[in-house]
Amino acid sequence: MISQTGNPYLDVDRDRIDILLSSNDPDSGRLRRIAMRLIIEAMDDTENREVTAINDLGSLPLSLWILKYIDEPLLTSRAINHSRDLLERFLTSERLHAEDVPDYARRYGVEMEFSDEDDLFRIPLGTFVMHTSRLSGYRYRLVYQSIHHGIVYTDRESAVKVIREAFVRKAFEAYATIDKEDTAKFLYPLSDNIQEIVEKLKNSGIKKDIDLGEVDFTIFPPCIKEYISQMRDGVNLPHMARFTMVSFLHKIGMDNDGIIGLFKTAPDFNERLTTYQVNHVTGGISSTEYSPPKCSVLQSNHLCYKGDDPICNKDWLKHPLQYYTYKKWKKSPKPPLDKLKKG
């Protein structure tokens, strides 16, 4: 089944989904089955994956329809990340010649070229920056790239990361275009299978609320609120946002178990790694207790969300912790002025 866009991998067009749902041909039947599997595997986080071939990604548009119907952001993120990992494995595998990688990049809107003279990929600077800004690791920073006339010359691993991030962006964009009311109308042939997924979701523990314990969320600065809300929506946070969140929560008195529990809602949660990172930032391992970065650092890393918040826009506000302390002081009961005078 070839879509009008030439890219069957992310085409969530209603007519196309309708045909896929009603067709009796074996290919459509297989894609329907794989679309469900992809979601279940994302929920189980299982190693025994059945959705393993690149062609299986043809089922992703139907998975996105089902996910829209279920409307659980964390499950949506997990399913998209599962597909992303499948694509990445394929693009880095030896089965695929390096010169064929740019064809896959174009499917997700990324222009790049490969030259076997130097074994390097050529990517426009703006494209490279846009798709690597959320990646952790020095190798994706511009200072480590070879750049000539606005083109980044990079190896296959970095080129694949660019495609992978473009894929995630496109998948979320496609998801956003699906009309929820349509999903209820069109997905009825799969209603039993979807019900099964919903039941599984209820028992999976995925749908957790974020527990902030004794800490007062209402007086958090906008940046920390935004990181928490993005994590609740299943977005993978950049490294600096995670670091800021951990060090901030530690400084205001949240214990390490509470902080680790918060990360359990992240789509790429890994308990061992998170425990190590949290213990490192909070001084449990390194004996250095880190503080969150200043506002100016967060601003230059595009991680400040101050908008028109009146406190963030004060000249004296230099640090997210200052915001919290100020608001806490404003909220605390004050002795009457006459007592202050006498005291």
Q: Does 238 bind ligand SF4 (CB under 6 A)?
A: no
Q: Calculate helix-pair angle for 222-232, 239-251, nearest 10 degrees.
A: 120
Comparison of 202 and 328: residue with beta carbon closer to ligand SF4: 328
Q: Does 252 bind ligand SF4 (CB under 6 A)?
A: no
User: Site for ligand SF4 (CB under 6 A): which residue of 172, 290, 305, 326?
Assistant: 305
Exposure of 51 by Cβ count < 10 A (0-12 exposed, 13-18 middle, 19+ buried)?
A: buried
User: Site for ligand SF4 (CB under 6 A): which residue of 223, 241, 254, 259?
Assistant: 223
Beta bridge partners, 146, equal: 153
User: Site for ligand SF4 (CB under 6 A): which residue of 46, 222, 308, 329?
Assistant: 222
Encoded amino acid at 275, one letter: T
d(CA 161, CA 242): 20
Which of 222, 91, 217, 114 minimizes the C-alpha distance to 165?
91
Q: Does 298 bind ligand SF4 (CB under 6 A)?
A: yes
Comparison of 183 and 244: residue with beta carbon closer to ligand SF4: 244
Cα-trace Rg, the chain: 23
Comparison of 105 and 245: residue with beta carbon closer to ligand SF4: 245
List of residues 6+ apart from 255 with CB closer than 8 A: 213
Q: Does 304 bind ligand SF4 (CB under 6 A)?
A: yes
Alpha helices in the chain (DSSP H): 14-22, 26-44, 60-70, 73-92, 101-107, 125-132, 156-177, 180-186, 191-204, 222-232, 239-251, 256-263, 271-281, 295-300, 320-331, 337-342
Q: Does 312 bind ligand SF4 (CB under 6 A)?
A: yes
Q: Does 38 bind ligand SF4 (CB under 6 A)?
A: no
Comparison of 222 and 261: residue with beta carbon closer to ligand SF4: 222
Binding piece for ligand SF4, criterion CB under 6 A, among 96-104, 170-178, 196-204, 218-226: 218-226
Question: DSSP string of 203-236?
Answer: HHS-SPPP--TTS-GGGS-HHHHHHHHHHHTTPP
* Number of residues near ligand SF4 (by CB under 6 A): 12
Comparison of 3 and 322: residue with beta carbon closer to ligand SF4: 322
d(CA 171, CA 12): 10
Comparison of 80 and 298: residue with beta carbon closer to ligand SF4: 298
In the shown chain, the binding pattern of residues 265 to 284 toward ligand SF4, with x for contact by CB under 6 A and - for none, equals: --------------------
Distance of closest approach, residue 244 Cβ to ligand SF4, in angstroms: 8
Please give the residue ranges that form the binding site for ligand SF4 (CB under 6 A). Answer: 221-223, 295, 298, 304-306, 312, 317, 320, 323
